[in-house]
Structure 1
Amino acid sequence: MRPILDLLKKRAPVNWSLSPQDTVFDALQSLANHNVGALMVLDNGKLVGVFSERDYTRKIALAGKSSKDTKVKDIMTANVISVAPTVRTRDCLALMGQKKIRHLPVVDGDKVLGMISIRDIMDDIIADHELTINQLQHYISS
């Protein structure tokens, strides 16, 4: 398996993020606009949290709070699990399974490089397996 940085490089450079001061309503609009399930929360370029649909459903909708009156900082996941760009995709997948998370920021020191989802990793694994199968089929038929 390849380093997670290779996976980030394969796709368009995207670093969508929120501010801790954004309202939850604005954060939901951003999730919808970008068609994603989570966004990083950055304060002056520093990763301070992750906001996800899960945060909204559990901490706003089920708690009867208003998304227009609540700030992202009040409900985001602040104890962010992140990985270095050299961590291998398989190790990221294992970590995500252990921690029961679907999104994983990639950070090099203090520099935020991006965020990958479990779908990104699964797509990469499937593509890798398809390549291996095609190579084996070609080898067998030669």
Structure 2
Amino acid sequence: MRPLLELLKRRPPGNWSLRPNDSVFDALKTLSDHNVGALMVLDDGKLVGVFSERDYTRKIALAGKSSKDTLVRDIMTAQVITVSPQVRTRDSLALMSQKNIRHLPVVDGETVLGMISIRDIMNDIIADHEMTISHLEHYITS
């Protein structure tokens, strides 16, 4: 399995993020605009949280609050689990499964490199398996 840095390099450029003082409504619009399920919350470039669809549904929709009147900092997940860019995809998948999370920020020291999703990891694992199958088929027919 590959290091996460390789997955990040293959992605289109752009790490979308929010600021703690953004409204939840604006955060939802950003999620929708980029077709993602979570965004990193950065304060002066420092990772301070993650905002996800889960945060919205559990802390706004089900609580009867207004997304226009609530700030991201009030509902974001502040205890963020992160990984280094050298961590391999299989280990990341195990961590995500163990912690019941779907998004994992990748940081190198204090530098935020990006965020991977469980979909990114599954796509990588599937591609790896397809390549193995192709090599085996070629070996058998040669």
TM bin (shorter chain): over 0.9
Q: State how far apart, in whole Å, the 1-side matches of 2:43 and 2:13 are.
A: 20
1:37 equivalent in structure 2: 37
Offset, 1:66: 0.5
What's the CA shift string for 1:45-80, capped at 9, x where partnerless? Answer: 000000000000000000010100000000000000
> Which secondary structure state, in structure 2, belongs to the residue aligned with residue 2 of structure 1?
coil
TM-score, normalised to structure 1, is 0.99
Structure 1 residue runs without a partner (length 5+): none
Question: Is residue 117 from structure 1 mapped to residue 117 from structure 2 by the alignment?
Answer: yes
TM-score, normalised to structure 2, is 0.99
Offset, 1:12: 1.1
Runs of 4 or more above 6 Å deviation: none
Q: State how far apart, in whole Å, the 1-side matches of 2:136 and 2:91 are.
A: 26
> Which secondary structure state, in structure 1, belongs to the residue aligned with residue 115 of structure 2?
strand
Structure 2: which amino acid aligns with 1:136? L
Structure 2: which amino acid aligns with 1:92? S
Offset, 1:36: 0.4
1:61 equivalent in structure 2: 61
2:6 equivalent in structure 1: 6
Q: For this pair of structures, how many residues does the alignment match? A: 142
Question: Is residue 26 from structure 1 mapped to residue 26 from structure 2 by the alignment?
Answer: yes
State which drifts further: 10-19 or 42-51: 10-19
Structure 2 residue runs without a partner (length 5+): none
Q: State how far apart, in whole Å, the 2-side matches of 1:14 and 1:96 are.
A: 23
Determine what percentage of the aligned residue pairs are the same residue.
79
Structure 1: which amino acid aligns with 2:110? D
Q: State how far apart, in whole Å, the 1-side matches of 2:17 and 2:135 are.
A: 39
Q: State how far apart, in whole Å, the 2-side matches of 1:135 and 1:66 are.
A: 54
Q: State how far apart, in whole Å, the 1-side matches of 2:10 and 2:29 are.
A: 27
1:89 equivalent in structure 2: 89
Offset, 1:13: 2.1
1:138 equivalent in structure 2: 138
State which drifts further: 5-14 or 53-62: 5-14
What's the CA shift string for 1:1-34, capped at 9, x where partnerless? Answer: 1111011111112210000000000000000000
Offset, 1:91: 0.3
